[in-house]
Amino acid sequence: PEDPYCPYPTSLLHIEELCDSIVRSHRDTSQFRLEELQALRWKLFSREELHAYQSKSVDEMWQHCAVRLTEAVQYVVEFAKRIPGFRGLGQNDQITLLKTGSMEVVLVRMSRCFNTENSTVFFDGKFGSTELFKSLGCGDLMVAVFDFAHSVCALRLTEQQMALFSSLVLINPDRPCLEDRGRVHRMRRDLEVCLSHMLRRDNQESLQHKLYQKVSVLQSLCSLHVEKLHWFSQRYPLIVHSVFPPLYKELFT
Amino acid sequence: LKEKHKILHRLLQNSTS
């Protein structure tokens, strides 16, 4: 039935068009193509290359990772802009949704770059284990991030399912300080209808509950990241201020 | 909020072409 308050009808045709549009947006804003990642999955860092990373100072490695993370976030910003209805939101609400949602989507997308057979992630052009990030001094965070990637990979999401899940992670009406919560909620409801429609089509309705369970893990990973950043910026305030990417500082400090 | 997130705001303003 037509919902008078919903900016657009929730007919099946509309839902399928919305699904296709989100899948296209995901594909068009993916930092790495799946085929590329598959082809490179056995390209591991050599012992010497690993040693080079582990010999970096903590501030060098933090800066390096902040740059890489910021690159990934920018792809997520482009993804958000292409989600139907997102640009119709107020500018403050667009910022609010991305302020926390961008890192969460980066973490979801990271599972595409993860090889569960040897627990390695694609970074700087090759695959490396948590050992690669030793000099960050954030062992617990990296283990938690790798564990999360494992758990998402275990769901064996298709690219289409990942696209929908990413949009749901981003369009979160529970974020604090939203000015038009109702509008975000309506957008979210259509995305939920899209996801259940897609999972029903794929005969994988049990996935919906498992996906929603991931959201709380995502939030704890993001808080742990901010906690680590706080720890680091107390030790190296000048580094964060002077050489960290400005977008990273805007989002996370 | 826009004041504190100038870069993000600018990225959001850029066209999606």
8 A C-beta contact, residue A70 and residue A248? yes
pLDDT for residue A4: 53
Vertex A124 angle, CA A120 and A130, to 5°: 30
Q: Which residue of A82, A178, A247, A249 to mutate against B (max B Cβ within 10 Å)? A: A247
- Our CA-based measurement puts residue B5 at a distance from the nearest CA of chain A, in whole angstroms, of 6
Q: Which residues contact A195 (CB under 8 A, 6 or more apart)?
A: A161, A164, A165, A168, A208, A211
- Our CA-based measurement puts residue A250 at a distance from the nearest CA of chain B, in whole angstroms, of 6
Does A3 score more than 80 pLDDT? Answer: no
Instruction: Give chain A positions within 8 Å (CB) of B3.
Output: none
Rounded Cα distance between A116 and A134, Å, is 19
Instruction: Give chain A positions within 8 Å (CB) of B8.
Output: 77, 95, 98-99, 247, 250-251
What value of ipTM does the predicted structure carry?
Answer: 0.95
3-state secondary structure of A114: strand
User: In chain A, what percentage of residues exceed pLDDT 70?
Assistant: 96
- Six-digit token pair at A250? 């805007």
CB contact (8 A) between residue B16 and residue A250? no
The arithmetic mean of pLDDT across residues A199-226, rounded, is 96
Rounded Cα distance between A195 and A168, Å, is 9
Amino acid at A2: E
Chain B's closest residue to A29, CA to CA, is B16
Rounded Cα distance between A79 and B13, Å, is 14
CB contact (8 A) between residue B5 and residue A82? no
pLDDT tens track for A158-198: 999 999 999 999 999 999 999 999 999 999 999 999 999 99
- Our CA-based measurement puts residue A133 at a distance from the nearest CA of chain B, in whole angstroms, of 27
C-alpha distance from residue A2 to each of A8, A102, A186, A190, A192 (Å): 9, 32, 13, 13, 17
C-alpha distance from residue A169 to each of A12, A57, A162, A192, A217 (Å): 22, 34, 10, 11, 12
Number of helical H runs and strand E runs in chain A:
11, 3
pLDDT tens track for A88-129: 999 999 999 999 999 999 999 999 999 999 999 999 999 999
